Amino acid sequence: MREKSIFATSVILAFFVGIIATVAAFYYLPISGKTIQEEVKKVTVTESDTIMSAVDKVYDAVLYVESYDGNKMISTGTGFIYKKDDNFGYLITNHHVIEGANLVQVINTSGEIVEATVLGSDEYADIAVLSVAVDSVLQVAEIGASTDLNLGDTLFTVGSPLGKIYMGTVTKGILSGKDRTVEVDLTNKGSFMMEVLQTDAAINPGNSGGPLCNINGEVIGVNSLKLVKDEIESMGFAIPIELAMATVDRLEKGEEIKRPLLGVELLDLHDYGQLNYYRINVDKSVTHGAVIANVSDDSPAMVADLKQGDVITEIEGTSIKSVAHLRFVLYKYEVGDTIKVKYNRGGKENTKDILLNKSLEDN
């Protein structure tokens, strides 16, 4: 009898131990579909870097720009209001957006169409300043600093890619490169190099003149061009806001931006066809620079005794890579400055101080 009692007690004890072990296994070990389902339901996906508040700070400051020659539309782009006073709002866009126009009108985000006045424009900087009636201004953009940016920082644009139907489009990307230089062709002025910011945010032709902004909604660049090659994608460029604002005050007042004249016709070092045409032989020791094809009469270059066939290799210690690069370096100086120019003549290095006492615009 005692043995039966012990056996019964053991069975009952084993039963309860089994139940407890099973409950513990279900509770602590993810071995059932129910447990997995409950764990999945606890996962919440959120976007921690939304730019909605940043976009709100600039969105209504952006305008769609249309340029006309007579009744013919010749260009469209984007601009943004950077300041206003009691009578006018002032906006920045690109020079190439309004080039050749005798009428420019803008459309704000409320759909209001307003005629704009071109106060000043500079082709080399690709910056133009326009004014509009102050009652059409809905918002003023905040100006930031591109120098505060780091590679990988979030950036975004607001613009009008492909025209009015897509005005107000926001695209987002990162800062892909700083202190880039790209070569562009200017109307009847040859090639020139521009210092730009590089981003992978989508920038299309209608974005030209629009703001490139940081994560705080501050404008740190002016969209200017897109590198268009079939084999390259996601490379957009913008003028650093510091370079744009350096000319804005003078353009706003209608002042002409004057750049120094050196007084030379230049050829690239490897433009062998043109070098042969001018019968210029460059010494083999010269590996970089811009070749002088002609020197203008009574120019700073002639006064400094530069001659056809000389190769300008440095300006103020900056090594010259090409004709476009020479212009880029030269135009950082003002009319009236004296610059130190290094050049190669027949394999021999020479240095001259050249007074830049004339401007391109006065020539």
The set of catalytic residues is 96, 126, 208
What are 251's two structure tokens?
Answer: 């353009």
Picking from 325, 302, 300, 305, the residue whose alpha carbon sits closest to that of residue 315 is 325
Q: How far is CA 21 from the centre of its chain?
A: 66
CB 33 within 8 A of CB 65: no
CB 241 within 8 A of CB 147: no
CB 356 within 8 A of CB 362: no
Specify the length of the chain in residues.
363
The CA–CA distances, whole Å, from 189 to 4, 9, 123, 298, 333 equal 112, 105, 10, 21, 18
CB 351 within 8 A of CB 342: yes
Residue type, 356: L
Picking from 93, 178, 200, 99, the residue whose alpha carbon sits closest to that of residue 141 is 93
Q: Which residues on neighbouring strands pair with residue 181, listed in sequence order?
A: 195
The CA–CA distances, whole Å, from 345 to 252, 273, 288, 353 equal 44, 20, 13, 16
